[in-house]
Structure 1
């Protein structure tokens, strides 16, 4: 069992320390949440994992391979994928067409985006499987711009899963989703592949406590504590700095 291993990861902008000696392990199958107050460094941490930022020091290994100096696109190919706070979809295309794009790109067939020739039956089967797993099949031929926001977030999640990641970073998956639809996001997270490492960056504590088996609390770029949801809620520092105060 390997997964993602982050050791002594730091990021400085001149004299400003935005990530301080972070040590995090995301084994296969984990469901880990990253929480913290405004300015804690959650976005910086995600950007260091995905290659948007290069660390000042420290290492990032995926299944024993050093990926710390890889570009964003190379990290995606290595198995690091991230959803975003704002949906990034092709709004004029159907759900099925949206899902076809990352699969064709992954397989080197992006030039035939709208083709459904017999030679791509395996791709169509993969699309059908993704839609079934995320309960999107009834929406297959719907244009994305006409979907409810919660449904668009599910499509975005399906697009990310189409990349076949080993580590999935969910950046505020419930952001902008009406409370009445938040159960769709929770259910989708619970249905993710059992061997997939999942890091959830989220301020919706109900969602965090429902899906996470471990929580990391980040404050001022450093890890304050980590533990089970029960351990986190009992910690007086967390109650004072996060759970009882405003958060992003």
Structure 2
């Protein structure tokens, strides 16, 4: 059985407009893959096909060898495909700890115990503690989310997504809106993700991409132009001129 995520011949048409063209790629366990390309290249469409927001016109999506094509968004999350970032979706009046508790309770189908403490479900609080530690959020654990810096809120959202215990994590523009003084928090968090987790990073910040990705897929007009190592991407003249700019030349 194939481990990780595998996409074969994935296409999406809106009437006569084709926005995804015969996409074939794999995200093995532990992958750190970036998806780049200009605005309108089809990056968000691809993410939406993976998560079930959109249904493909043709092609297959396999998770550990099993098709997820007929699954709904929520079913895909439970199967192990989770997407985060781009737009934060947090309960701003709750603390960091309370925010992280919610997806764990949902995962365990214990939503009637939202405000219980460690004496109620000690294993749950242990898991929250570990997520706080892993993302360097422990000093902020009991602070309301609304008082956090934007980069810190992004880390909380990442913690919420990791609480779902995904097998495949899609980071949609993790650096979007994060001040340059806080972008290192995102880079460090990505580097600390579980080694066996497959990660797809959709990002315009090429400095971040080159820091965390060991493979880069270049998308243009809904099709894959190049799938290779960072060095292969840097060395490709067309990619360098069209997508990376002179700074990377």
Shorter-chain-normalised TM-score: which range? over 0.9
- Does 2:228 correspond to 1:217? no
For the aligned residues, what is the CA RMSD? 0.9
Asked if the contact 2:85–2:154 (Cα under 8 Å) also holds between the matched residues in 1, the reply is: no
- What CA deviation, in whole Å up to 9, does each residue of 1:49-68 have, x standing for no partner? 00000000000000011001
Normalised by the length of structure 2, the TM-score is: 0.97
- What CA deviation, in whole Å up to 9, does each residue of 1:183-237 have, x standing for no partner? 0000000000000000000000000000000000000000001111110011011
Residues 42-121 of structure 1: pairs in structure 2 closer than 5 A: 42-116=43-117, 118-121=119-122
| Ranges in structure 2 where 5+ consecutive residues have no aligned partner | none
Question: What is the distance in 1 between the residues matched to 2:241 and 2:220?
Answer: 12
Question: What is residue 134 of structure 1 aligned with on the other side?
Answer: 135
Q: How many residues align?
A: 245
Question: What is residue 34 of structure 2 aligned with on the other side?
Answer: 33
Asked if the contact 2:8–2:22 (Cα under 8 Å) also holds between the matched residues in 1, the reply is: yes
- Does 2:202 correspond to 1:201? yes
Question: What is residue 152 of structure 1 aligned with on the other side?
Answer: 153
Question: What is the distance in 1 between the residues matched to 2:63 and 2:25?
Answer: 12
Question: What is the distance in 1 between the residues matched to 2:39 and 2:108?
Answer: 40
Alpha-carbon offset, residue 240 of structure 1:
2.1
Moved over 2 A (4+): none
Alpha-carbon offset, residue 86 of structure 1:
1.4
Alpha-carbon offset, residue 117 of structure 1:
5.6
- What CA deviation, in whole Å up to 9, does each residue of 1:109-143 have, x standing for no partner? 00110112634100000000000000000000000
Question: What is the distance in 1 between the residues matched to 2:69 and 2:225?
Answer: 24
- What CA deviation, in whole Å up to 9, does each residue of 1:63-113 have, x standing for no partner? 011001210000000000000301110001000000000000000100110
Higher mean C-alpha deviation, range 202-211 or range 80-89: 80-89
| Ranges in structure 1 where 5+ consecutive residues have no aligned partner | none
Question: What is residue 235 of structure 1 aligned with on the other side?
Answer: 236
Question: What is the distance in 1 between the residues matched to 2:215 and 2:118?
Answer: 45
Normalised by the length of structure 1, the TM-score is: 0.97
Alpha-carbon offset, residue 42 of structure 1:
0.1
Higher mean C-alpha deviation, range 192-201 or range 233-242: 233-242
Instruction: Indicate the SS of the match to 1:179.
Output: coil
Asked if the contact 2:85–2:158 (Cα under 8 Å) also holds between the matched residues in 1, the reply is: no
- What CA deviation, in whole Å up to 9, does each residue of 1:155-203 have, x standing for no partner? 0000000000000000000111110111000000000000000000000
Question: What is the distance in 1 between the residues matched to 2:85 and 2:139?
Answer: 24
